[in-house]
Amino acid sequence: MYLSVSVIFSFLFLVVSDAASVFQSEPEAEGFMLGGTATVNGEFPASAYIVTPDNAVCGATIIDASHVLTVAQCVLDASHRVYNPRMVRVNAGDIRLSPVSPMRQSRLASVIYVHNGYKPHTFENDIAVIRLQQPLSQPSNALEPAVRRSRIVANGANCNLVGWGMITATGSSINAEQQRLSIQINDRDICTNMRSELQVFESMICAGNMNQSANSAPCTGNLGSGLYCNGDLTGLLSFGINCGAGNNPPTFTQVRFFNSWIEQQVLRNDSVPLRWSPLDV
């Protein structure tokens, strides 16, 4: 039996398309973090990152084999509508964006639960849970669920923001290695007074550089990244991604305020309508 030319070309197109999807490269690190210290394998095994349909990178944190935690902003499009979950990819177990490590585990999302009280103009309730299509393989030396903090962190405490990429103060060097920034917890009221257009609510936590430029600060690409205090997941980077500028300290969704909500999402078995938005609630 002979195949027509059109059938042959259709077959070749499908083969090339499949190959392109398999060998799709990771987004380039682009000003993810200023300063910081490179981590080592297994130092922050709950850290993960997501790649959205817009090819943007956001931080995420493993909370169990089938779920990761991030901020609502990372899984909503420009119209504040949830992305199609099957177009959101989660990468875990790898401390580099590229090249791909043999330890990397990559999964597509199956459902995305965004807090229905999320307010994009104030960043209140900026949190979301992503369920994976297949569980992450555990145990793994490079992959382990986070311990979520349940107690208050005192002002002045030293914590670590964990993200990907580094850029020097002159902007001359970029790499894709995971970094940690040692940052200090600030008083919420001082942060609010410094940046009057955005209040730091009780369900948030403020940390990092205050009213002067700094050599260590998060830049674009670290939205949703985890803040760890005494090894516990304490916050998710929400705003104040200042790349060293003063008067705009990094501010995080405070995880302890949402532990009950997180558990409720993990136990849910319903789906979310396509194009759902917390603004419709």
Provide the pairing of β-strand 128-132 with 89-92: unpaired
Residues 127 and 65 placed together within one structural domain of the fold: yes
pLDDT digits (tens, 9 = 90+) for 121-159: 999 999 999 999 999 998 777 899 999 999 999 999 999
Query: What's the angle, vertex CA 145, arms to CA 140 and CA 148, rounded to 5?
Result: 155
Residue 123 domain flag: yes
Range(s) of the domain holding residue 122: 45-145+260-269
DSSP 106-142: EEEEEEEEE-TT-BTTTTBT--EEEEESSPPP-SBTT
Residues 197 and 110 placed together within one structural domain of the fold: no
Count of structural domains within the chain: 2
DSSP letter, residue 143: B
Closest CA to 87 of 59, 115, 56, 62: 56
pLDDT tens, N- to C-terminus, the chain (281 residues) = 434 434 333 433 333 333 333 323 444 444 577 778 889 999 999 999 999 998 788 999 999 999 999 999 999 999 999 999 999 999 999 998 888 889 999 999 999 999 999 999 999 999 999 999 999 998 777 899 999 999 999 999 999 999 875 444 444 444 578 989 999 999 999 999 988 789 999 999 999 887 666 667 888 778 999 999 999 999 999 999 888 777 889 999 999 999 999 999 999 999 999 999 999 97
First to last CA, the chain: 58
CATH number at residue 242: 2.40.10.10
CA distance 271 to 58: 23
